[in-house]
Amino acid sequence: MGLNEKLTLAGLVVGLLIGATGMGAGSLMAPILITVFNVGAVAAVGTDLLYSAGTKLVGGVRHLTLNTVHRELAVYMAVGSVPASVAGVYTLHRLAASEGKAVQADIKDVIGYALILVAIAVAVRTFFTLRAIFTDNIPKDGPLNRRHRVLAMAIGLVFGFVFGLTSVGAGAFFGMALLTLFPLSTLKVVGTDLFHGALVTIAAATAAYFFLPSIAFSSIGFLMLGSIPGILVGAQLSVKLPERALRGSLSAVLALSGMKLLGLFG
């Protein structure tokens, strides 16, 4: 099997997981590029960001047209996450320029730790019933108060920077925050997560295009070639397969991928 076929297959596998689980699976692309295709960590982050931008854009626009997005919350979170993600990409660019090859191992470790945190977030969302806090008596999906706006921007700043630096965790970290800290219905959690994810990913991907070296542009098309049908098939499978089993398995795969990058086995 040639390189292009392997890239398409990798896109198909990740797409199936994204479609079937709806959370966290996109974080697998960077470690696959690093461990399977021997792409440098910095280039893998840039490639992953550009790859993710296309998939997130489609999902975000679709939810916007379906009116399943809490626009106010998405905008306030993006106020923090968009500049922070650009700052994360620029930080990676400066590290790569100043540290050279030494930064590759460091970023690989950072991605590994981030993957383990994503695995924990996915497991918590899967196996524990979480009740929203800090929501007072605000009706679900209604206007936010000042505390929620400040909280949204703060969450955007922290997780946006991590995302720009590693390309990992946009769906899991932001989705967890939306689920637990804001007065949203389940439908608006999904739509807002995807729409905001599109905003922050496009910003980070644009920064990656200008700042990160050696992005595997030729690989992105083949990854998308596999991932788009994979997402569609995965979405159909999600209706028929046990949700907890799927997401529990994804959590385990994410954790193992993180440990692999950290050199804990293999």
Distance CA 248, CA 258 (A): 16
Q: SS3 for 190-230, per residue?
A: HHHHHHHHHHHHHHHHHHHHHHCCCCCHHHHHHHHHHHHHH
Phi-psi region of 148 (alpha: psi -120 to 50; beta: other; left: phi over 0): alpha
| Closest CA relative to residue 192, chosen from 228, 165, 155 | 155
Question: Is residue 68 a contact partner of residue 190, using CB atoms and an 8 Å limit?
Answer: yes
pLDDT of residue 130: 58
What's the CA gap between 183 and 168, in Å, rounded?
Answer: 25
- pLDDT per residue, tens digit, the chain (266 aa), is 788 899 999 989 888 887 776 666 778 889 999 999 998 899 999 999 998 887 778 777 877 888 888 999 999 999 999 999 999 999 999 998 887 777 888 999 999 999 998 888 888 877 766 555 555 556 677 888 899 999 999 999 999 999 999 998 877 788 888 888 888 887 788 788 888 988 999 999 999 999 986 777 778 889 989 988 887 787 677 667 777 777 788 888 889 899 989 988 66
- Cα–Cα distances (Å) from 266 to 114, 178, 257, in that order, read 19, 36, 11
* Cβ atoms within 10 Å of 87's Cβ, excluding its own: 17
Q: How far apart are CA 51 and CA 56, in angstroms?
A: 9
pLDDT single digits (tens) 31-53: 999 999 998 899 999 999 998 88
Instruction: Enter the pTM of the model.
Output: 0.86
Q: What is the pLDDT of residues 193-246, one digit of tens each?
A: 888 988 999 999 999 999 986 777 778 889 989 988 887 787 677 667 777 777
Give, as one character, the DSSP assignment of residue 167: S
CA distances from 113 to 31, 117, 162, 265 (A): 12, 6, 11, 14
Q: Shortest CA distance to 257 belongs to which of 129, 181, 169, 157? A: 169
**All residues at 6 or more sequence positions from 249 whose CB lies less than 8 Å from its CB, including other chains:** none
